[in-house]
Amino acid sequence: MQAIDVKFDCNALRTDTALRLWQTAASLHSRKLSMPERLPVDLAKAYRLLNHGPTVLVTSTHAGRSNVMAAAWSMPLDFSPPKVAVVIDRNTYTRQLVEASGEFALNVPSRATAALTLAVGSESGRERDKFAERGIATFAAGKIAAPLLEDCLGWLECRVLPEPHIQERYDLFLGEVVAAWADANAFRNGHWLFEEESPSSIHYVAGGHFFETGKGFDVSRED
């Protein structure tokens, strides 16, 4: 009798899991989205994740505490080795963690993550755990300790290139990109897809107003 109960429970569990998977697939399909497929990005092409100026989420960790904040002011700085620049205000908790660890990650959020971007950019993690409070899912980076965020389109793992003068004077941090990743539904073979059905990155204006990266187009070079 007991064995039958266990079998029944297992079947119920399987049915429930299958139903949930089906619901996720149906939801992705109705939104014309695909399951994320994270692929490494060739470091020589990593600058392209930021070239069009998306707003990013900066993740950091030190001594068992991790944090995430929004940053509209980031940009690529060099091709090889790839470097980035990002403004991290002196009053942020992120600044403390980045200075202490010498590392940070830039996560490129999608339209679907815009509300979260505004939220983590409007509160400090100094006294709270934004990941736990907001149920933010993460996965381990390849080369740094800072967590990377699920539900993003691109990821750049960075080590701080110490420049004490510009850090202190302008809150500007330079980082060498030591690993990069992208969701193949949005960025593939070194290029953003920018197609109607592909998830798009976001750009912050002000006051909770964003716009979504639009349709791409090509211009031929003159010979």
Ligand X SMILES: Cc1cc2nc3c(=O)[nH]c(=O)nc-3n(C[C@H](O)[C@H](O)[C@H](O)COP(=O)(O)O)c2cc1C
Binding site for ligand X (CB under 6 A): 55, 67, 69-73, 87-89, 92-94, 117-118, 121-126, 204
Sequence-separated contacts (24+) of 52-56 with Cβ below 8 Å: 52/192, 52/201, 52/213, 53/203, 54/108, 54/109, 54/201, 54/202, 54/203, 54/213, 55/109, 55/117, 55/201, 55/202, 55/203, 55/204, 55/210, 56/86, 56/106, 56/107, 56/108, 56/109
Compute CA distances 183 → 35, 38, 149, 153, 192, whole Å: 9, 5, 12, 5, 10
Q: Which residue, 117 or 185, has its beta carbon nearer to ligand X?
A: 117
Burial status of residue 180 (CB atoms within 10 A of its CB: 0-12, 13-18, 19 or more):
buried
In angstroms, give the least distance from the CB of 192 to ligand X: 20
Q: Which residue, 94 or 167, has its beta carbon nearer to ligand X?
A: 94
Q: Which residue, 94 or 110, has its beta carbon nearer to ligand X?
A: 94
In angstroms, give the least distance from the CB of 39 to ligand X: 27
In angstroms, give the least distance from the CB of 125 to ligand X: 3
Tokens 């100094």, residue located: 126
In angstroms, give the least distance from the CB of 202 to ligand X: 9
Q: Which residue, 76 or 193, has its beta carbon nearer to ligand X?
A: 76
In angstroms, give the least distance from the CB of 92 to ligand X: 3
Q: Which residue, 12 or 205, has its beta carbon nearer to ligand X?
A: 205
Q: Which residue, 43 or 77, has its beta carbon nearer to ligand X?
A: 77
Strands 38-40 and 172-183, bridge-based pairing: antiparallel
In angstroms, give the least distance from the CB of 97 to ligand X: 8
State the residue number with the nearest CB to ligand X: 121
